Structure 1
Amino acid sequence: MSDVPLAERDLTALVPEWLDWNQAAERLGVTPGKVRTMIRDHELAAAVPVPGGGPKVPADFIQDGVVVKGLPGLLTLLHDHRFDDRECIAWLFTDDDLPGRPIDALRENRGSEVKRRAQVLEY
């Protein structure tokens, strides 16, 4: 496991592709305002990957025109553990506990193991 706290991890190194809210809206077939609502409601997470830039959504959160199955529930669980969006994104894209990154497991419909790992997190 990495000794760097989640909040301090370099998201640009962890997340290969970012979408601004307009791009995310286009991929989801919704308005940018709906993307903002989805972020507020923890259906999606956003962070500012580069200081001075705007908030962005990891492209891997969207698959085949919809939010990756299991992501909203997992984000809610992580927020219940007092993670902010930046920490949620860092956790999802870090290969610390699972064989592979949690986001990859979600995208491959292996969300049960990811959820179990998240349920025992301490922060």
Structure 2
Amino acid sequence: MDSWLPLPDVAEAMGVPITRVRQLVREGSLLARRQDDGVLRIPADFIHGDVVTKGLPGTLTLLADAGYTPDEAIDWLMREDPSLPGTPLQALRDNRGREVKRRAQALGF
């Protein structure tokens, strides 16, 4: 889960124009982080096949509502959680989104 993709690679993987990927980032359906080389990148596991990982946009909304910054949300999604097990992002990819969303909602309280 340490793999990060620059926006043009995300667009290619999804089969959409880069403007669509930028729009997804702007609207918060995807989060990106500027790396040390100055390039804006998205965690590779945010993409599943040619679509955004199921449940990710809703989870990102819940995290934003809980006051998480984009960087904090990325870190939370990629942090190991022994009670899941694995990371919240991996749980989303494994179709265990209900538990991830429940935890994200609880962060707001």
Separation in structure 2 between the aligned mates of residue 42 and residue 103 of structure 1, nearest angstrom: 16
* Post-superposition offset of 1:109: 0.3
Partner of 2:46: 61
SS in 2 for 1:98: coil
Unaligned residue ranges in structure 2 (runs of 5+): none
Residue of structure 2 equivalent to 1:84: 69
Structure 1 consecutive aligned stretches of length 4 or more whose deviation exceeds 4 Å: none
Structure 1 alignment gaps of length 5 or more: 1-14
| Alignment check: 8 A CA contact 2:25 2:32 kept | yes
Larger strand proportion, structure 1 or 2?
Answer: 2
Structure 2: distance between partners of 1:89 and 1:24: 16
* Alignment partner of 1:113 out of 91, 94, 99: 99
Q: Percent identity of the aligned residues? A: 48
RMSD in angstroms over aligned alpha carbons?
1.5
Matches within 5 A, 1:27-106: 27-50=13-36, 52-96=37-81, 98-106=84-92
**Kept after mapping to 1: 8 A contact 2:33/2:41:** yes
Conserved in 1, the CA contact under 8 Å of 2:65 and 2:108?
no
Aligned residues: 108
TM-score (norm 1): 0.81
| Structure 2 residue matching 1:56: 3-state secondary structure | strand
